[in-house]
Amino acid sequence: MSIKSRRNRSLQCRTRKHVPMPTGPLKIIGYRDIMTGFSKKGGVLVRLYYPAANQSKSIEEQHLIWPNWLPHENYSRGYGDVADIRWEPLFRFIQRLNGDIFIPAIPNAKPLREKGGKPYPVIVFSHGLGGCRTAYSSICLELASHGFIVAAVEHRDNTACLSFYAKQVRYSMRESNPNFFSETDGLMVDEPDFGDEIDDPNYIPPKALAAVSSVPHIAMEWVRFRNIPITKTGRKIYNFRNQQIHHRVRECSRALDLLEALQAGYELNNLLDPLFNISEFEGLIDLEKAIIMGHSMGGATALMSAGTELRFKVAVCLDAWMYPIKDECFDLVTQPILFINTENFIEMEANLNKMKELMTTTDNPIGSESSVAEDYRKAQSIRGAVHFNQCDIPFVFHWLTKLFIGQYGQRSKRNRFTAMDLSSYLALSFISKHLDIIIDEDVETYLSEQKKKFKPTFKK
């Protein structure tokens, strides 16, 4: 497959701007949002990406039903919080200039059941600081197009740009909403629930939650982003980050519980869709081939999840930010691990040293002559790429990344489409080898063609 042919998916639909089209053999991808539980500690919120039925139709022909990249208009305010944009005129200007971006996927589509009823392996994906369940739609769509069911978790530990959870109360959801514009104080030692929610009688329920607005005794509460610079360190900061990552690990485990329920056909109360038909996914999920994957803080979440949840068979960490788990014991991680790093991210020496600590266990010493050992724990870096190349930001805010992010050493020398392809294809190749999954031959062909764009993270 030539680079030119792969770039064809970057051409925009005439009527809608969108994140990249998937390149795998299964081009039509469906999605469903699922939320369970009546608390942010006990439930889970995920977006499922999966191969959809009726692959004969063109995804471009169905562009009118593509979902907006923002799950709800309030998420734009959440991204404003992440970028620390407090001046309202600038915020409105960016909103107008950027416009609407869409995801080339079909909402609530029936999943594809191939002849023979072969189930799909699953990937639980953990987003990074300031992300949400749609912030990695590019890589999730790509993985799904190669025959995976991807569960993108939206974490509710104040690391998502914005999130929400169901709360069982005695008043309608029109009477519940936090104050979006209140200032957050510093870290609170006695704040186990990561923030307060404030009632607002003028609340208008999000369009995305319209299906549950008529259900009595249920309200939705927003969970805002807590902006704490990653440059801040110290015991108090570490304790807070470590508490967050433990919360994230539990949510990844609950996401796997949710997939088990779907596979078994157990009754499931999807609070976002009371008419959700669980039988559509029954027998369709291969839980023996479960992968945990994540980016940045999500990469560290993936690593910790592998150490605490043995149902995950492989872990893939994209630019894993290791700080929150510096006091954890890596001896618990026994699964194959792949680190996919961007060139600028490996310049963080403390982060790299912690990664090396995991790589240099007695089972997989760096420099080992055993090819099996090298493949079991692997770290690859993409030349010229930067941290944001592994999420949707370069596609959704392309002009913004060029104008502003480049000033802080985050300007990518690598084409945004190529960087995304290299990340997703490296992950697919590693997963296929360790879980004996047959993938499209174009994956290995492309990686072979682009091998000069890689370099080992650690010298032998």
Question: What is the model's pLDDT at position 66?
Answer: 94
pLDDT reading at 11 higher than 60:
no
Question: What is the model's pLDDT at position 381?
Answer: 93
Q: Does 190 or 338 have the greater pLDDT score?
A: 338
Among 327-331, 424-428, 433-437, 441-445, where is mean pLDDT lowest? Answer: 327-331
pLDDT reading at 449 higher than 90:
yes
pLDDT tens across 341-357, in order?
Answer: 998 887 778 888 888 88
Question: What is the model's pLDDT at position 268?
Answer: 86
Average pLDDT value for residue range 257-286: 91
Picking from 389, 328, 315, 385, the residue whose alpha carbon sits closest to that of residue 354 is 328
pTM of the predicted protein model: 0.85
**% of the chain with per-residue pLDDT over 70:** 78
Q: What domains sit in the chain, N to C, each tagged with a CATH number?
A: 3-160+233-456 (3.40.50.1820)
Question: What is the model's pLDDT at position 20?
Answer: 92
Q: Does 269 or 48 have the greater pLDDT score?
A: 48
Highest-scoring range by mean pLDDT, 165-169, 232-236, 276-280, 421-425: 421-425
* Average pLDDT value over all residues in the chain: 81
Q: Does 399 or 247 have the greater pLDDT score?
A: 247
pLDDT tens across 52-68, in order?
Answer: 998 888 888 898 899 99
Question: What is the model's pLDDT at position 133?
Answer: 96
Average pLDDT value for residue range 212-223: 64
Give 281's pLDDT tier (boundaries 50, 70, 90): very high
Question: What is the model's pLDDT at position 85?
Answer: 82
Q: How far apart are CA 256 and CA 268, in angstroms?
A: 14
Q: Does 30 or 200 have the greater pLDDT score?
A: 30
Question: What is the model's pLDDT at position 405?
Answer: 54
Average pLDDT value for residue range 111-134: 92
